[in-house]
Structure 1
Amino acid sequence: MAAAAVKPEEEHKMKKKLVIDTDPGIDDAMAIFVALRSPELELLGLTTIFGNVYTTLATRNALHLLEAVGRTDIPVAEGSHVTVKKATKLRIASFVHGSDGLGNQNFPPPTGKPVDQSAAAFLVEQANLYPGQVTVVALGPLTNLALAIELDPSFPKKIGQIVILGGAYSVNGNVNPAAEANIFGDPDAADIVFTSGADILAIGINITHQVVLSGKSWCACDRL
């Protein structure tokens, strides 16, 4: 007996709703492209933050990446330009992915603009629109998430899950022996997020350093 076909509207509801908080970055660009190609994910938007580059450039890169793949329907909300306590010096890793974050390719400016809404406000809005359904994937410092919690203290209960690329667990850090770059970028924000009561999955460099992209996997990525 043939299985019943899934209606398009039902398939849409089954997809995991995702917001990527990002500081692109070639690494983040790859993550965004994979999310866009996944049939299991619905990308609700991108929020930008400093890290690999300053926030303004992160926004420009996010808009450029979406334009490059014809997904200008996805909103980009610009995030904080400063750490949550504002006095902490920004640590920009331009030496990793180039001064533009994308390998110094000098891409033309994007034609699109970010939405007229802060990243924190956008995160709170999505959590309210889809309570318990939204996963935030945080690929940079956690400033925007901390500001979302300050904006709406109930945000940790409304968000489905926060997946954090950050931390060094039982291994040395990559900034100094005790710290990993994304947490080190705004430790006060990290403290707010980790103690908020939200459902958090943290993926530290103890995990990412074990990931190897094989030739077979690279070919699969190339087909995307």
Structure 2
Amino acid sequence: MSDPTSTPAPSTPEPARILLDTDIGTDVDDALALGVLLGSPEVRLLGCTTVYGDTVLRARLTRRLAGLAGHDVPVVAGAAATLTEREVFWPGHEGRAHEGLADERLREDVDAVGLLTATVAAAPGAVDVVAIGPLTNIAHAVRADPAFAANVRRLYVMGGRFDRPEPEHNFQSDPEAARIVFASGVRAVVCGLEATQRLRIAGRDIARITAAGGFGAALGDEIAAWCGFTGEDWSVPHDPLTVLTLVRPDLFGFRRGAVDVSVAGADPGTSVLRPDPDGPVEVAADFDAGAATEEIVARIIAAGAGG
């Protein structure tokens, strides 16, 4: 018989349900962010959509990396072109470190917008979306379903810069998409360039990641490809820091308000935070860069252990 006076064991919280929208394959930070998600027991990755440029190649690379970490993640190729029809930044090294990517099976029974809108509509207020590329797919979802913005629990965005009027790559690549997304009133957490540029992954941390099984070795190849392109021996983990605001929000301070994104003028894609205590957007601010870097690396290594 059970002891009626015993204290029940505390229940384990259900993992947060996540969709990832990514332009993986160019800057290695998207692949590292995938590692942080796969190495975080607090989340369950429901699926991925890819955006910007050769999205089929990006989708196949996502499948390959997730599989190396022991995860069978549904992946859908999304919008290749931006809403503003700006030229896609494509260095040409994408996917070259991996053989046989064409054998990776993608989900084809739904398009990216359908996956995004249907998944959050099936559980309103219970699914987070992490968007770490240009916001084209997210803008298409906002346009396709008027309830999409309200159905998303939180939209986590890597994009913008909020310490000075300077455009950042993701917003600059499709400023109209960014404008549509933030004008929708979606509840969002944003990690801007002024925050992410405080971190670097280099030397010892690259070696630790590369040693983390087949997944880590593949990330090592991605790091080498990106560093070969930039000519630098380190990477800025823009996207992993964004994921960290989801899995470890306690590490951050935030500024609240509403975000405006310019679509015209000399610097389209420039972002401004209008302070408002009731605003829908939180922008990551204060955090310990060393602690954040270690948390990122440890979670990537944990993902490698699952392969």
Alpha-carbon distance in 1 for matches of 2:56, 2:79:
9
**Where does residue 45 of structure 1 map in the other structure?**
47
* Structure number, greater radius of gyration: 2
**Where does residue 205 of structure 1 map in the other structure?**
193
Specify the code of the residue in structure 2 equivalent to 1:180: E
Deviation by residue 1:11-35 (Cα, 9 ceiling, x = unmatched)? 4xx2111111011132111111211
Deviation by residue 1:158-184 (Cα, 9 ceiling, x = unmatched)? 110111100011236xxxxx3110001
What SS does the aligned partner of 2:87 have? coil
Percent identity of the aligned residues?
Answer: 31
TM-score by length of structure 2 reads 0.61
Q: Spell out the pairing of 1:82-97 with structure 2 (5 A cutoff).
A: 82-85=81-84, 88-94=85-91
Alpha-carbon distance in 2 for matches of 1:122, 1:179:
29
What SS does the aligned partner of 1:160 have? strand
**Where does residue 185 of structure 1 map in the other structure?**
173
Alpha-carbon distance in 2 for matches of 1:223, 1:67:
15
Q: Spell out the pairing of 1:76-155 with structure 2 (5 A cutoff).
A: 76-85=75-84, 88-94=85-91, 99-100=93-94, 102=95, 104-109=96-101, 110-155=103-148
Q: CA RMSD in A?
A: 2.3
- 1:203–1:57 CA distance, 2 compared to 1 (3 A): same
Alpha-carbon distance in 2 for matches of 1:154, 1:63:
29
Of 290, 295, 298, which residue of structure 2 is paired with 1:220? Answer: 298
Specify the code of the residue in structure 2 equivalent to 1:220: A
Alpha-carbon distance in 1 for matches of 2:200, 2:141:
34
Alpha-carbon distance in 2 for matches of 1:33, 1:221:
7
Per-residue deviation, 1:221: 5.0
What SS does the aligned partner of 2:176 have? helix
**Where does residue 62 of structure 2 map in the other structure?**
62
Specify the code of the residue in structure 1 equivalent to 2:93: S
Deviation by residue 1:26-82 (Cα, 9 ceiling, x = unmatched)? 2111111211121100111111001xx52122112112112222312x211211121
Count of residues paired in the alignment: 204
Alpha-carbon distance in 2 for matches of 1:84, 1:213:
33
